[in-house]
Amino acid sequence: MVLQSSLRKDLAQSFVTTLVVLLTVVMTNMLIQTLGQASRGSINPSDVLLVMGFTALGYSATLLTLSLFLSVVSTLSRMYSDSEMVIWFCSGRSLFSFVGPIFRFAWPILVAIFFSALVVWPWSNQKIQELKDRFESRSDVERVAPGKFQEFSGGKSVFFIDKETSGSMSGTNVFVSTSDGDMQTITTAQQGFVDNIKNERFLKLKNGQQISLNTVTQETRITTFENYQLLIEEHAVAASGARANHMVPSLDLIQKPDPSRMGEIFWRLGQGFCALNLVFLALALAAVNPRAAKSYHLMKAILTFVIYYNMINFGQRWIAEGRMPLALLVIYLHGAAALIAALWIMRRQTNWTLRLWLFRRRHGHA
């Protein structure tokens, strides 16, 4: 009872601290990436916080897994360093007796990891894509910020406009620079508005001029117009294609199986199995050499996590390419990890080494 209460308290404190640190680092990185997407016109600048929130929810399984793993390793390593583990071992406790208290602390987090990987991950990706599609479905004129040059259509068009109202389909003092092969065109107009014609969007301009330059022949043509229309988006109302696998709910993936979908299911299930196995691997990794650096055990833990996580990604690719069935790879990868964890804990418990085994075998035959 004393072991369980003290261990769970230390684990909880370490877990919360680790999660806050990781979340801060991840959110900072997400902020930089999301602001970059907003500056490129991929997402609405007003949706930056929403995209960051959905992205953080999508990767919550990975964050929880790493936080749980590092918290167990750091807590047990501190107990080894402070000789608390020696006291528990001398009082009759074995390393296996720590499995129960640790698992009782970890099981709600493991449930949250499975739920996040199977449910939250596709839902958050779908919401992010909806925000992007909603922004992309707007016309180029709608997306232009007043008084600011912005690129659209993959960098082929540069717009500048003074919009009359926020979200308006019309504006004044329009500037459009387009590049099409060897031709570069600069169009200016006093007024412009968007018109949809047969699933295509046109920018209709009034009272302006157009300068066309052939970059090869250096031929320049200047045209003045009262009314002019410019195609800015083909097939504006496009049929929505099949959703990417990472946006499809888990039940839909199972109901319509194919190699790529089974690879996605393997990745989602792998998040939970990885977290479960890492909890037991932490028991074996936590043993500290007093002469080693204090961060040595954390470096080993992070390296173990990276290797395991990359194996899950490789497994997803193998299944998607049809190299191996889902069930077999689950057994091979996660079953092997569980077996390694069990054998490693037994080795720590019995203090078994290959040198000791050879010594006993040699003297046994003598």
Tens of pLDDT, residue by residue over 302-334, are 999 999 999 999 999 999 988 889 999 999 999
**365 within domain boundaries:** no
In the predicted structure, residue 335 carries a pLDDT above the cut 90: yes
If one counts the domains in the chain, the total is 2
CB distance 333 to 312 below 8 Å: yes
Phi, psi (rounded to 5 degrees) for 70: -65, -35
In the predicted structure, residue 242 carries a pLDDT above the cut 60: no
In the predicted structure, residue 231 carries a pLDDT above the cut 90: no
In terms of domains, do 7 and 125 share one? yes
* Angstrom distance (rounded) from CA 126 to CA 149: 30
* Angstrom distance (rounded) from CA 27 to CA 46: 17
* Angstrom distance (rounded) from CA 81 to CA 257: 50
Q: Which residues contact 247 (CB under 8 A, 6 or more apart)?
A: 122, 125, 126, 129
In terms of domains, do 6 and 92 share one? yes
pLDDT of residue 239: 38
- 199 lies in which domain range? 144-233
* Angstrom distance (rounded) from CA 287 to CA 73: 9
- In this predicted model, which residue has the larger pLDDT, 211 or 197? 211
Domain end (from 207, 233, 259): 233
Q: Give residue-wise pLDDT tens across range 61-116.
A: 999 999 999 999 988 888 777 666 667 667 766 677 778 888 889 999 999 999 99
In terms of domains, do 90 and 169 share one? no
Closest CA to 71 of 125, 14, 13: 14
Helix (H, G, I), strand (E, B), or coil: what is residue 209?
Answer: strand
In terms of domains, do 15 and 123 share one? yes
* Angstrom distance (rounded) from CA 272 to CA 116: 9
Domain end (from 233, 267, 295): 233
Q: Give residue-wise pLDDT tens across range 248-274.
A: 999 988 888 889 899 999 999 999 999
**339 within domain boundaries:** yes
Closest CA to 201 of 152, 128, 256, 250: 152
Domain end (from 209, 233, 257): 233
pLDDT of residue 358: 55
* Angstrom distance (rounded) from CA 47 to CA 43: 7
Q: In the structure encoding, which two tokens stand for residue 262, read together?
A: 């089974």
Read off the pLDDT band of 169 (50, 70, 90).
Answer: low
* Angstrom distance (rounded) from CA 158 to CA 167: 18
In terms of domains, do 159 and 286 share one? no
In terms of domains, do 127 and 8 share one? yes
In terms of domains, do 123 and 14 share one? yes
In terms of domains, do 173 and 261 share one? no
In terms of domains, do 273 and 330 share one? yes
Q: In the structure encoding, which two tokens stand for residue 140, read together?
A: 């180029």
In terms of domains, do 55 and 7 share one? yes
Measured CA to CA in angstroms, residue 116 lies from 28, 57, 120 at distances of 21, 8, 5
CB distance 244 to 263 below 8 Å: no
Maximum alpha-carbon separation in the chain: 108
Q: In the structure encoding, which two tokens stand for residue 200, read together?
A: 């295509």
pLDDT of residue 112: 96
**Amino acid making up residue 350:** T
Burial 172-185 (b: 16+ CB within 10 A, else e): ebbbbbbeeeeeeb
**185 within domain boundaries:** yes
pLDDT of residue 241: 38
In terms of domains, do 204 and 325 share one? no
pLDDT of residue 328: 92
In terms of domains, do 149 and 251 share one? no
DSSP 8-state code for residue 92 = T
Closest CA to 164 of 144, 179, 183, 187: 144
What is this structure's pTM? Answer: 0.71
Q: Which residues contact 136 (CB under 8 A, 6 or more apart)?
A: none
